[in-house]
A = this chain, B = another copy of it.
Amino acid sequence: MITALAGGVGAARLLRGLVRVVPPTEVTAVVNTADDMVYCGLHISPDIDTVTRTLAGRFNEVKGYGVADDTWTVLGTLGQMGGDTWFELGDQDLATHMFRSRRLEQGRTLSEITAELADIAGLATRLLPVTDDPLRTRVTLRTGQEVSFQEYFAKLRHAVPVSSIRFDGSDTAVAAPGVLEAVEDAELVVVCPSNPLLSIDPLLAVAGLRSTLEARRDRNVAVSPIVGGHAIKGPAGRLLDELGLERSAAGVAAYYAPWVGTLVIDDVDRDLAPKVEALGLRCVVTDTIMVDVDRSAALAGAVLRAGGYRGPHG
């Protein structure tokens, strides 16, 4: 069994490769929910949707969110009415959010609904939201204003300086059923190339996750989301800077050092390998740019080898 800690797009790409090189049923993804939001009343789980759709081959790669070949009937009408359209919801996307919101109204948990949606999408991989409890990223801007993740990410297009990040609800959120066991029992934990501060940190903020990961540090392998000093996508690089961390694969190594034993970094960062190793992590250098599913699978293979994974039958 392999358990992956996952945020959005970067994680989804690695997972897509992972299920090419091991049976999908061997993979569990523990997915960030701190980006979840209620918008127009609808419960939206951006990372869960990104992972589900990517694995189903239905992710809108052009936009970087939503469903491939979606239509915009409702959003068009909303725009004509003068309604809020900064968060672009396609028609099929909306159906997913309505499905999830309705099931929540009926008393189902986010875990149960996530499993249903994965099943509807035809996935054999197990997807677990990190928690069924409310957990919400709150970003304090340099101006002093505190905003939600989506306001920061989508509305402000992460173009404003940040002074701190916290996860509202982390003092009471408990891990969803199966999450701690999936981490504890995995032959290998794979930390996907997701934003350390916005996607991986909220997972660690859920009770029991960090200590469980620390206790098995040597069997945890992370892929650096920072390549050549920049994030492949999103504000990870900028945030590392703004929060006083080194904006490099070595900065990621320093940040993950207490609970990650091996860091996979990109070929362009090979000069940083000694620095990563000096921080007490093994370092593996390979091509980490997942431009297509073959490259995702190649990276996944490298990650498995880096972690000494011997396959489902050991």
Contacts and interface: CB of A to CB of B under 8 A. Distances in A.
Interface of A: 38-43, 71, 73-75, 77-78, 81-84, 91-92, 94-99, 101-102, 104-105, 120
Given A40-B97, A41-B42, A41-B102, 19 more contacts: A39-B102, A40-B99, A41-B43, A41-B98, A41-B101, A41-B105, A42-B42, A42-B101, A73-B73, A73-B91, A74-B74, A74-B92, A74-B95, A74-B98, A77-B91, A77-B95, A81-B95, A83-B102, A94-B94
A81 B40 contact: no
Contacts of A97: 40-41
B101 A74 contact: no
A206 B96 CA distance: 37
- What copy number does this chain have within its complex? 2
A101 B42 CA distance: 9
25 contacts: A38-B41, A38-B105, A39-B102, A40-B42, A40-B97, A40-B99, A41-B41, A41-B43, A41-B97, A41-B98, A41-B102, A41-B104, A42-B42, A42-B98, A73-B73, A73-B74, A74-B92, A74-B95, A74-B98, A78-B95, A78-B99, A82-B120, A83-B98, A84-B102, A91-B91
A91 to B, nearest CB: 4
Interface residues of chain A: helix, strand, loop or mixed (majority): helix
Contacts of A98: 40-42, 74, 78, 83
A306 to B, nearest CB: 38
B92 A77 contact: yes
Contacts of A78: 95, 98-99
A82 B99 CA distance: 9
Contacts of A92: 74, 77
Nearest to A120: B81
A127 to B, nearest CB: 16
A74 B102 contact: no
A59 to B, nearest CB: 16
A123 B65 CA distance: 38
Contacts of A38: 41, 105
